Structure 1
Amino acid sequence: MEQKIIALPRLNKLTPTVESTALKLMEEAGELAQAIGKFRGMSGEQIQVEEEEVMRAITRELLDVAQTAVSLMFVLEEHYGVDIQQALKEHVDKLRRKGYLA
């Protein structure tokens, strides 16, 4: 199974909650969708942007989504005792059952 492993830091200058972090995650996902749509001309605007710049913008927004998701994982672990490693194992098992992994 091919994997993409990234390590993102715990943000220590914030006091996130499940609710605030979930809202932030939706905001960041919206910004990712906006970057994809706008730069691909889906907004109706005629925008001339180099492909490389488009991919950089999409990558920046994608990493913001990932950072926020990781922040929510820290909240779940620290405040609610969620075992993210066990949840990850169950997630991969689910992907296998659904036929998404060989």
Structure 2
Amino acid sequence: MDLKTLSLPRLNQLNPTLESTTLKLMEETGELAQVIGKFRGMSGEKINLSDDDVINEIAVELLDVAQTAVTMMFVLEEQYNIDIDLLLNEHWEKLERKGYLSLK
């Protein structure tokens, strides 16, 4: 199995709440959808970027979504005492059980 990990930091210049992080996640997801819509010509506007530039913009927006999701996990851990390590292990087991991941 080829394993690649992605680590994102705990942001220390913010005081996120569950509600503010949820709203931010929705905002960032909307921006991702907007960029993909432009790339696919769904917005009706003419695209002045190369395909490579648009794909790069999609990746940038996707990282914003991922960072916000990670921030929400930290909020759950710090403010609601959720055991993220336990849940992460359970998530990996679920992925393996469903056949999405082989750890062997």
TM (norm. structure 2) is 0.88
> How many angstroms apart in 2 are the aligned matches of 1:73 and 1:19?
13
Q: CA deviation at 1:19?
A: 1.1
> How many angstroms apart in 2 are the aligned matches of 1:45 and 1:52?
18
The 1:4/1:22 distance shift into structure 2, 3 A limit, reads: farther
Q: Following superposition of structure 1 onto structure 2, how do residues 76-91 of structure 1 map, counting pairs within 5 Å?
A: 76-91=76-91
Q: CA deviation at 1:88?
A: 0.8
Q: Deviations over 1:33-79 (max 9, x none)?
A: 11111122122223242011011101110110111011111111111
1:101 matched to 2:101: yes
**Greater shift in the superposed pair: 40-49 or 68-77:** 40-49
- Specify every segment of 5 or more residues in structure 1 that has no aligned partner in the other structure, as ranges: none
Q: CA RMSD in A?
A: 1.4
AA aligned to 1:38 is K
Identity %: 65
Counterpart residue number, 2:35:
35
TM (norm. structure 1) is 0.89
- Specify every segment of 5 or more residues in structure 2 that has no aligned partner in the other structure, as ranges: none
Q: Aligned residue pairs: how many?
A: 102
